[in-house]
Amino acid sequence: MKHFLGFALFIFGFSVFSQTSSDAANKLILEAAQKSSANETISYLAKNIPSLKDDSDKKAAFSFLGALQEQAGKFEDAKKSYTAGAALAGPTNSEKLVIGAVRCALNSGDAETALSFLKSSVRNSKDALIIAHIKLYEQWALLCKANNVKETEKAVSALKSFVDDASMKPVLPSVLFTLWHITGDESYSSKLKSSFSSSPEAKIIRGEINALSTPFWLFMPRKENTVPEIAQVPVEKSAAQEKSDSAAATPAKTSGDGEKIVREQLGLFRDVSNANALAEKVKSKGFDAKIVVEKRPSGNVYYIVVVDENKDRTIGKELRTAGFECYPVFE
């Protein structure tokens, strides 16, 4: 369980775990933690939270459940857990739960929902840390909505203004990392490594840990992804069909929960031309890249660049060696 809880929320600056839950909530959480896999833990909590009698207990349990779901990549489920918890009375910080829901909306590619949450009562927060996250997440939402590098300029300008803003110091490592990631300007990575050397963001830049425990960073257009107009890469008919075809393909390695890695995802775009550009770039390095289409619950349609796992189960490593960011897609 320690490994599963791990480090997946590092980039978001603070945890939503409750430190004020009662014995009933703690007992349920501890029972859930004894399960043999992350999925079993999540299922156990989801099934038993309604049995808790007190709203404050339910709220604490929803907070914990949302964090587990988020780290497992179940962003829609996590968003629902966070919002359910935020609506209940109790000592668990509702504002942090709303911020958690914002993160999950962003990771689902739903920037509009993220912005709507940020415009809720959380905007009246008196907590300096919450306010800093609101300002940062607003810019992240704009970056997620951008279809190309030109459309990131307003958000990048705002992020640059945060660097010398004392009120943004609690999230400055994330600000610097975002600026480096988007612009490629090494001055931001240098400042991050010198001023916040022990931060997770600095460890990412030094190659000590992987930033892609979630797909969030793949939503943002970056300078290195802007390429001349090229021939179109055929787009698969549907995400469902792609999933079916891949499942019938070669064996894939598994996660600790027995889930199979069926492909590596390299990018997710609203503009098919951007997906085509990345796919061609990947293909030029000898990989069989393709594009699948996915319609999210928000109604947004995305074009996803993927490479199927190979029989040796080494595609992820090979892609990273070739200089491509990617993260595994499990089944």
Q: What pLDDT digit, counting tens, does each position of 67-96 carry?
A: 888 887 788 899 999 999 999 988 888 999
Final residue in a domain of this structure, among 162, 188, 212 = 212
Give the range among 60-74, 190-204, 289-303 with minimum mean pLDDT: 289-303
Rounded to whole angstroms, the Cα distance separating 188 from 227 reads 24
Please give the residue range of the domain that contains residue 106: 2-124
Final residue in a domain of this structure, among 181, 212, 243 = 212
Element (H, E) at 91: none
Whether 130 maps to a domain, the answer reads: no
Give the range among 7-11, 163-167, 190-194 with minimum mean pLDDT: 7-11
Global pTM?
Answer: 0.67
- Residue 124 structure tokens: 């009246």
Kindly report the CA angle at 123 between 218 and 151, in degrees rounded to 5?
35
> Does residue 197 sit in the same domain as residue 288?
no
3-state secondary structure of 262: strand
Whether 133 maps to a domain, the answer reads: no
What are the counts of helices (DSSP H) followed by strands (DSSP E) for the chain? Answer: 15, 4
Whether 144 maps to a domain, the answer reads: no
C-alpha distances out from residue 47 to 129, 208, 318, Å: 33, 37, 40
> Does residue 105 sit in the same domain as residue 8?
yes
125 has pLDDT over 80 = yes
- Residue 16 DSSP label: -
Model confidence over 262-302: pLDDT tens digits?
A: 888 887 777 788 888 889 999 999 999 999 887 765 566 77
> Does residue 92 sit in the same domain as residue 179?
no
β-partners of residue 330 are: 261
Final residue in a domain of this structure, among 124, 141, 170 = 124
> Does residue 206 sit in the same domain as residue 238?
no
Q: How many CA atoms lie within 13 A of 66 on its CB side?
A: 31
Whether 136 maps to a domain, the answer reads: no
| Cβ neighbours, 10 Å, residue 252 | 22
Whether 141 maps to a domain, the answer reads: no
> Does residue 109 sit in the same domain as residue 164?
no
| Cβ neighbours, 10 Å, residue 156 | 19
Whether 104 maps to a domain, the answer reads: yes
> Does residue 199 sit in the same domain as residue 235?
no
Percent of the chain having pLDDT more than 90? Answer: 35
> Does residue 192 sit in the same domain as residue 231?
no
> Does residue 154 sit in the same domain as residue 262?
no
Whether 181 maps to a domain, the answer reads: yes
Number of domains in the chain: 3
CATH number at residue 286: 3.30.70.1070
Whether 142 maps to a domain, the answer reads: no
> Does residue 205 sit in the same domain as residue 239?
no
- The position carrying tokens 């709507």 is 116
> Does residue 88 sit in the same domain as residue 176?
no
Q: Which residues contact 169 (CB under 8 A, 6 or more apart)?
A: 132
> Does residue 10 sit in the same domain as residue 107?
yes
CATH number at residue 108: 1.25.40.10
**Residue 217: band (very low, low, confident or very high) from pLDDT cuts 50, 70, 90:** low
Residue by residue, DSSP assigns 264-331 as EEEEEESSHHHHHHHHHHHHTTT--EEEEEEE-TTS-EEEEEEEE--TTS-HHHHHHHTT---EEEE-
> Does residue 6 sit in the same domain as residue 80?
yes
